[in-house]
Structure 1
Amino acid sequence: MIGRLLTIFFLLPLVTGAQLKVLINVSAPKQINDSLFIAGNFNDWNPRGKALVLNQKINNSYSIQLSLPKGFYEFKITRGSWSKVESQANGKSIENRTFNLNVDTTMDVSIANWADHFTQVDEKYHYGDHVHIVDTAFFMPQLDKHRQIWIYLPKNYSKSKKKYPVIYMQDGQNLFHANPPRANEWAVDSLLDSLIREGSKEMIIVGIDHAGKDRLKEYNPYDSQYGKGDGKAYVQFLVETLKPYIDSKYRTLRDVKNTSIAGSSMGGLISMYAIAKYPKVFGSAGVFSPAFWLAPKIYDDIKDRLAGLKNSKIFFVAGDKEGSAMVRDMKKVHSIVNPDGINKNIMLLEIEDGKHTEWFWHREFVPFYQFISK
């Protein structure tokens, strides 16, 4: 699965600043009946964005023109789903296509083949012996859905009687290190094992799998062009159903100071909403590359809830290669929760080489963990 990336700048009237044009010409390998779409870090990697269908010119030639702010962009071409994404000639996956937009640009793309033209072999992944699946179909009554839930327990958990802080994290299927390794994993269990060996505090991590095609709605507490937001119900599930269950089955420190929430992109958006909505449940939040662009109402919500956040610890991080609007929106939220810039419980990192991808969040998880461990 492609790493979850961000932001349809060209669809949003709230984006300010100069827009540049990029014309992408695409040649397909053979005559096909499906429409072609572009999916990338400008639309949260939605493989079938309605406004992102390519125009067919002649035969197997297509094109699309986008208007975007300056920035670094990644994308792939699909036929409407990730099972029909472009591939190498032998059916293997390709690296994300990229362009760094500084001036109006034309780009030519040649597609070698499509992934669904080959028999796909499902990888069987194995995880560390202290990463477990709590339930493959945990019921979410607030959403009337089922979801796989993961848990990381420190290696000494079974040998001790102590209780541990807990971090609740979104996009659970991408959190833990797998064998064989995957390109789109945070590998937070490997990081924690290393940090704990070096003397850091031990913590439990609970991962909640995302909603697949409904992720843009489930991690959004507000309605958007993608549909009715389910984020409020999702956070209610975390607070009213999942946390009580975890607290009853595992040795956890249940108080607010020992309960954190974290996520990236849409997961960063819902993590910020969760701590603002339930500051007496979540004492700290990791807001990685947040998709605030899709939820402008959150600014007012945070302003209305500032009093409740006075004791909260919030870690913001985004990269300069994620687009100027990403950093700008993150700084806007930071300025609301830390207007004087002197609150040591609020940290803001803008990283020069940061991209909207799991290797970046893997790396920046370390300062987040150290920050909330203090």
Structure 2
Amino acid sequence: MAEHIIYLLGPYRIPGFQGERNVRVYLPSEGANAEPSPVLFLFDGQNVFHDDPSFSGGWHLHEAVRELADRGAVAPVLVGIDHGGSERLTELSPFPGDGSDGRLDDVLGWLTSEIVPAVRERFPVRRDAAGTAIGGSSMGGLAALYAHFRRPDVLGAALCMSPSLWFAERRIFDFIAAQPVPASSRLYVDAGAQEDDGSVLRDAARLVEHLRGRGYGEGNLLFCPDEAGTHGEDAWRRRAPGALQFLFAEAAREQPGGAGAPEGSQQAA
């Protein structure tokens, strides 16, 4: 089997934030003739691939994507966006509160104006909202949910693992209720029963009930409660393959034109 190659972009600076961060890109298949693939942008990029950069172990998501590709299933390009360390909470929170300034909108502005175009220019990825997803876990899961409803013109799907819906007095519920259902919307939501005495799972179930009441069904919303699930990378790593398969199973029905083969990027094994 060919080695896993992860392209390293950056380092980047987000206007108004301190420090620099890298962006890592993984392609499920290489070659100039590859069809444009759907693409999944992920918060907390340090946790997406290997164990070393992560605080408590990586998701090894590139291995799950490679397995999808080897089975002939639709496999997304992965784009892991590093968080800024001490500023992570402010970066990933859509609302002020709980020790955060709530500057996710600033991060989304940078993501959609700089990172999404850079990835589309260098890699063979889809350019439509239906083929472009955003994802994360915990605060990253909350950020992904908000990002989808805030910028559905760019981000047409979201992977929300153990989302921190409790944050800022659960303001995310009012926010989503005030937004129209996006024209392209595909959502994966999960949570574990062992997270915070079950409150994370109860909040996730409340979110799913609201979404189903607005017309979401089995085709565009998957809810995976995990009775054994805890709040950590090992649980998210275990559930990730099923999440990817659901989010991108329908992506093969449309194949808009994409960009060419990757150029001008470093490679990190």
Please indicate the TM-score interval, normalised by the length of the shorter structure.
0.7 to 0.9
The answer to whether 1:218 aligns with 2:91 is yes
The answer to whether 1:187 aligns with 2:44 is no
The equivalent residue for 2:241 is 366
Are the counterparts in 2 of residues 143 and 234 from structure 1 also a CA contact under 8 Å?
A: no
Secondary structure of the corresponding residue to residue 166 of structure 2: helix
Are the counterparts in 2 of residues 302 and 336 from structure 1 also a CA contact under 8 Å?
A: no
Relative to structure 1, is the Cα distance of residues 181 and 274 closer, same or farther in structure 2, using a 3 angstrom cutoff?
closer
Relative to structure 1, is the Cα distance of residues 193 and 179 closer, same or farther in structure 2, using a 3 angstrom cutoff?
farther
Which of 315, 339, 342 is residue 188 of structure 2 equivalent to? 315
Q: Distance in 2 between matches of 1:160 and 1:209?
A: 30
The amino acid of 2:149's aligned partner reads A
The answer to whether 1:201 aligns with 2:78 is no
Q: Shift in Å at residue 347 of structure 1?
A: 1.3
The equivalent residue for 1:147 is 21
The amino acid of 1:358's aligned partner reads E
Relative to structure 1, is the Cα distance of residues 321 and 184 closer, same or farther in structure 2, using a 3 angstrom cutoff?
same
Are the counterparts in 2 of residues 140 and 241 from structure 1 also a CA contact under 8 Å?
A: no
Structure having the higher helix fraction is 2
Q: Shift in Å at residue 325 of structure 1?
A: 1.3
Are the counterparts in 1 of residues 130 and 184 from structure 2 also a CA contact under 8 Å?
A: no
TM-score (norm 2): 0.84
The equivalent residue for 1:298 is 172
Which of 208, 215, 228 is residue 353 of structure 1 equivalent to? 228
Relative to structure 1, is the Cα distance of residues 278 and 179 closer, same or farther in structure 2, using a 3 angstrom cutoff?
closer
Are the counterparts in 1 of residues 131 and 156 from structure 2 also a CA contact under 8 Å?
A: yes
Relative to structure 1, is the Cα distance of residues 190 and 182 closer, same or farther in structure 2, using a 3 angstrom cutoff?
farther
Structure having the higher strand fraction is 1
Secondary structure of the corresponding residue to residue 202 of structure 1: coil
Which of 141, 146, 151 is residue 273 of structure 1 equivalent to? 146
Q: Distance in 2 between matches of 1:247 and 1:342?
A: 29
The amino acid of 2:30's aligned partner reads Y
The equivalent residue for 1:261 is 134
Gaps of 5+ in 1: 1-127
Choose between structure 1 and 2 for higher RCO, CA contacts under 8 A separated by at least 6 residues. Answer: 2
RMSD: 2.2
Are the counterparts in 1 of residues 157 and 184 from structure 2 also a CA contact under 8 Å?
A: no
**Number of corresponding residues:** 244
The equivalent residue for 1:99 is none
Q: Percent of aligned pairs with the same residue? A: 29
Q: Distance in 1 between matches of 2:185 and 2:214?
A: 16
Q: Distance in 2 between matches of 1:290 and 1:180?
A: 22
TM-score (norm 1): 0.61
Q: Deviations over 1:65-121 (max 9, x none)?
A: xxxxxxxxxxxxxxxxxxxxxxxxxxxxxxxxxxxxxxxxxxxxxxxxxxxxxxxxx
Q: Distance in 1 between matches of 2:7 and 2:139?
A: 24
Q: Distance in 1 between matches of 2:215 and 2:62?
A: 32
The equivalent residue for 1:335 is 209
Relative to structure 1, is the Cα distance of residues 194 and 217 closer, same or farther in structure 2, using a 3 angstrom cutoff?
same
Q: Distance in 2 between matches of 1:315 and 1:290?
A: 11
Gaps of 5+ in 2: 250-269
